């Protein structure tokens, strides 16, 4: 989150919150698991 999320002025809050990154992680996990089951 700290490296990949853009920060917006004037208060430089992170644009993408921790919830977004958790959601992205679970989505990648599901897609990866689905591809593994599809091709295994």
What CA–CA distances, in Å, run from 18 to 2, 12, 22, 28, 35? Answer: 10, 15, 6, 15, 26
Q: Looking at residue 2, what is its pLDDT? A: 74
Q: Looking at residue 29, what is its pLDDT? A: 98
State if pTM tops 0.95: no
Q: Looking at residue 10, what is its pLDDT? A: 86
Digit-coded pLDDT (tens) for 1-40: 678 888 888 888 888 899 999 999 999 999 999 999 998 8
């Amino acid at each position: 989150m700290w490296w990949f999320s853009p920060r917006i002025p004037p208060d430089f809050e992170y644009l993408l919150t921790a919830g977004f990154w958790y959601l992205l992680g679970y989505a990648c996990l599901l897609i990866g698991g689905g591809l593994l089951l599809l091709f295994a």
